[in-house]
Amino acid sequence: MRTLDLHPWKVSTAEARRIQNELCHQVVLHNDFPHIDLIAGADLAIDKTSNEGFAGVIVYTFPALEEVERHHAHCKLTFPYIPGLLAFREAPALLQAFAKVKHEADVIIFDGQGIAHPRGMGIATHMGLVLDKPTIGCAKSRLIGSFEEPGPEVGNYWPLVHGEKTIGAVLRTRGNVKPIFVSQGHRIGLETCIDILLQCSDGYRIPKPTREADHFVGEIKRSPARAQDSS
């Protein structure tokens, strides 16, 4: 899978913030794709003992959500844990996993933030720019922004607002359970993000692509030898 060499990953924290401040001006926040035939979920698990990151990508048909392929990769983490700069810690392993993908997804969902980030550059947005793909941030908790609790029924949502700007939505994907935090990554509109995640939420709070990616990387982390890559 093709990637763009936008910047080095081994940088100082000051340089990482400078890169984010530059890249945020390149983000496209409207639909920039003709159709969705394939969708992918991506996640990363970290082993704090070995300081390794275990990345996984699963590609599905859309909207049927039948699995097409899955791949994983792992590597040593070279960037420290700093809130707001997680892409510099997680992206190298994720990019190794994406490099194995044979069927490129039309949209990729990441377990994390998109533009709902202090500099508008969460993992979904950063990876969207590097992969040059439409991406969605699907997070379990809020990083920034204010909101009101959405109604209890599936499909209810409330805008996530920072200052005077809407940076995402707080979406109920399962009745009477905690909502998820949705934000645009790159090359996609917010209403489309909401629609896609509802179609991927097969009775669960977390949409299937990132839910299964989370299970996949957890298995790899526990026993890398048991996690069979499809490549």
- DSSP track, 186-221: ES--HHHHHHHHHHH-SSSSS-HHHHHHHHHHHHHH
Helix (H) or strand (E) holding 93: helix 86-98
Question: What is the pLDDT, as a whole number, of residue 190?
Answer: 98
Question: What is the pLDDT, as a whole number, of residue 200?
Answer: 97
**Is position 22 within any domain?**
yes
Q: What is the mean pLDDT of residues 195-218?
A: 97
Q: How far apart are CA 92 and CA 126, in angstroms?
A: 12
The residue range of the domain holding 205 is 13-222
Q: What is the mean pLDDT of residues 204-218?
A: 97
Question: What is the pLDDT, as a whole number, of residue 231?
Answer: 46
Q: What is the mean pLDDT of residues 6-17?
A: 96
**Is position 214 within any domain?**
yes
| pLDDT at 223 > cutoff 90 | no
**Is position 8 within any domain?**
no
Q: What is the mean pLDDT of residues 109-115?
A: 97
Bigger pLDDT: 229 or 185? 185
Output the domain CATH number for residue 213: 3.30.2170.10
- Structure-token match 């890169």, residue found: 19
Q: How far apart are CA 108 and CA 90, in angstroms?
A: 16
**Is position 42 within any domain?**
yes
**Is position 3 within any domain?**
no
Q: In whole numbers, what is the pLDDT of the chain averaged over residues? A: 94
pTM, 2 dp: 0.94
Question: What is the pLDDT, as a whole number, of residue 224?
Answer: 59
**Is position 227 within any domain?**
no
